[in-house]
Amino acid sequence: MSEHLNIAAAGRPERVALYVRVSTREQTVENQLLPLRDYARSRGWVIAEEFSDAGVSGALDHRPALNKLMEAARKRRVDRVMVARLDRLGRTVKHLLLTLEEFRVLGVQFCSLAESMDTATPVGKMAFTLIAAVAEFERELIRERIFAGLNRAKAQGKRLGRPRKAVDDAQVLALRQQGLSLRQIGRTLGISKDAVANVLSVMGSKTEARAPSKPAPGNGPSA
């Protein structure tokens, strides 16, 4: 049995959180709060808390009131979240879906007045499923466009990935002659060990790519 049904069976009115957002300080959140309050009271729900982000863009990842709302939901201080419109809650379809999915896992119902969406009803659950399906369809389209672009670039002979770092051959050789290992040279110049080996190989060969040998004691030229 879901938490929503448990609440009804216990005879306890649902504790609802109202979330509103406006993008500029010149706008008022009351235009959203008034119909939300009326709807909650008409259903016999108790307004536990109101969360208001005024002058906050929906494009922001973190919004003070929204963060507090999520904290209240995670601590089970509310049974339901209400908004005037879906775009008041989610900055993107992905963000909206992630938020609604978290509510579902927490057993918190969600209601949006403009879209007549209530996840406690079969129609509301179907609407959520449709939104998720559209979002997945959009992701697949984006993925297909990316792969098509990569394949087209390869067919045209374009180099993909990050541009290669320019290597100073003379500097590589000078550091090698100082006795530095391939790894040390690469770390000094900010290139890979393999890139160092390639430079030394091209410049003169496999012997340059090996560490310089030191004369054994007693085998040096006699004084």
Residues tagged active-site? 23
Distance CA 144, CA 154 (A): 15
Question: 22: helix, coil or strand?
Answer: strand
**Helices of type H across 54-181:** 64-74, 93-106, 122-155, 169-177
Q: Are 80 and 113 in contact (CB under 8 A)?
A: no
**Residue 97 exposed, middle or buried by CB count within 10 Å (0-12, 13-18, 19+):** middle
Distance CA 88, CA 51 (A): 12
**Helices of type H across 3-78:** 3-10, 30-42, 64-74
